Structure 1
Amino acid sequence: MKAVVQRVVNASVAVDGQTISSIGKGLLVLVGIDRYDEPSDATQIIKKVLTARLFDDDQGGMWKKSVKDIDGEVLCVSQFTLLANFKGSKPDFHESMSTVPGKAYYSAFLDEMKKAYHPSKIKDGQFGAMMQVSLTNDGPVTILLSSRSSVSSKSTPAASTSGSRSTTPAPTSSSSKGKGKRQSQTLSEQPGVVAPVYPPKDSANSSVDVASISSISGTIASVGLGPSGAVREVDVDVTGSGGTGDVDHDRSGTSDV
């Protein structure tokens, strides 16, 4: 997961010319969900967004308070283009999570953030819609967060704003002794909290019949492989009487043109 966090005086989202969400002082968070994201990725980003000290204190001291400390608001906007790669000059978005599981994941992400802060403080845009985002960046202050060093990596170091990241996952054993018994808890492990429901990982149906690729008229632009080496997604550039286009065959067995 990637997130672009901006400290704002105000921000709003409009769809078809109508404002659907707006906030005052707080954070605008652009959220990019990649196809390997798990609930732990969302938890890392949420914790960093809500605890990062991006605001001044009452005496003007810089980097002293978090958005929760100032009772600020958070406007989240889903943005799959944060996962873009380029094939020449054409952006490729196949590292982003596909629409159906992506929408479910984003909904669970918002639910978890609301539980970690307060429902009235978390606003969002409209998933999958063409949106117009307006903001007044204060500073400007813009921070890039990532839950992993790369999309294809299976290691999940804590979200960081620096260029260097550890590739060793944070310890999760509860048997450690001393003050550092456990450095962090996911929201689902906290007493009395009902965990949001994220879409399940589809590991059983993660392959594509490669033999069927030869029946497609076009050029194979890219083949996405899963961690085990199984084909997860095929992007084919095709040409027909109606023009050109892309056929994206994903691991769920569906094709989008």
Structure 2
Amino acid sequence: MRAVLQRVTQASCTVDGNITGEIGHGFLVLLGIEDIDTAEDLQWLANKIVGMRVFGDENGLMNKALCDIDGNILLISQFTLFAQTKKGNRPSFLRAAKPDKAIPMYEQMITTLENLTGKKVATGIFGADMKISLLNDGPVTIIMDTRDKDNH
């Protein structure tokens, strides 16, 4: 599982001209799910997202987590995070989970993040042609991969 976290002052997702999710201060999270991902991977990543201390404290240092700033999450499913680009110029997405696995895991990530934050998670629509608008704050962008969880 891969996630790209972008610290934002605002972000929204639009599908067919309709806003499906929008937030103010918080994280835009682009989430890629792989066939080999497990419930353990999901829980580890959700805890990392919620606990990531990249929001400014009173001294301007990145020391606060999402809950410390009453922040929100906009979660967007993005299979292209598993693009393989080694050969040719057309990416391959063989590592990305198919919808029958990815949809339940995406939905579980929403539930897990809501349970951890105690807040509703804004979303896009799985598989839709989404238009994402954001104002990256910093900019601060963090890439996380559950394959790194065992590397100390």
Letter in 1 for 2:22: S
Q: Return the offset for 1:18.
A: 1.5
State the alpha-carbon separation in 2 of the partners of residues 140 and 119 from structure 1: 24
**Residue 112 of structure 2: aligned partner:** 112
State the alpha-carbon separation in 1 of the partners of residues 22 and 10 from structure 2: 7
For each residue in 1:148-197, what CA deviation from the matched residue of structure 2 results, as whole angstroms up to 9, or x when unmatched?
Answer: 04xxxxxx52xxxxxxx34xxxxxxxxxxxxxxxxxxxxxxxxxxxxxxx
State the alpha-carbon separation in 1 of the partners of residues 138 and 119 from structure 2: 27
Q: Return the offset for 1:62.
A: 1.0
Matches within 5 A, 1:50-65: 50-57=50-57, 59-65=58-64
The secondary structure found in structure 2 opposite 1:69 is helix
**Residue 234 of structure 1: aligned partner:** none
The CA RMSD over aligned residues, in Å, is: 1.1
Q: Return the offset for 1:100.
A: 1.4
Letter in 2 for 1:5: L
State the alpha-carbon separation in 1 of the partners of residues 71 and 24 from structure 2: 8
State the alpha-carbon separation in 2 of the partners of residues 60 and 13 from structure 1: 32
Q: Return the offset for 1:60.
A: 3.1
State the alpha-carbon separation in 2 of the partners of residues 131 and 83 from structure 1: 18
**Residue 123 of structure 1: aligned partner:** 122
Letter in 2 for 1:147: T
How many equivalent pairs are there? 151
**Residue 44 of structure 1: aligned partner:** 44
The secondary structure found in structure 2 opposite 1:90 is coil
Tell me which of the two structures has the higher relative contact order, counting C-alpha pairs closer than 8 angstroms and 6 or more residues apart.
2
Matches within 5 A, 1:1-257: 1-57=1-57, 59-86=58-85, 87-120=87-120, 122-149=121-148, 157=150, 165-166=151-152
Q: Is the 8 A contact 2:103 2:126 kept in 1?
A: yes
Letter in 1 for 2:72: E
State the alpha-carbon separation in 2 of the partners of residues 17 and 92 from structure 1: 29
Gaps of 5+ in 1: 150-155, 158-164, 167-257
Per residue, is there more strand in 1 or in 2? 2
State the alpha-carbon separation in 2 of the partners of residues 134 and 95 from structure 1: 27
State the alpha-carbon separation in 2 of the partners of residues 85 and 94 from structure 1: 8
TM-score normalised per structure 1 = 0.57
Letter in 1 for 2:76: V
Per residue, is there more helix in 1 or in 2? 2
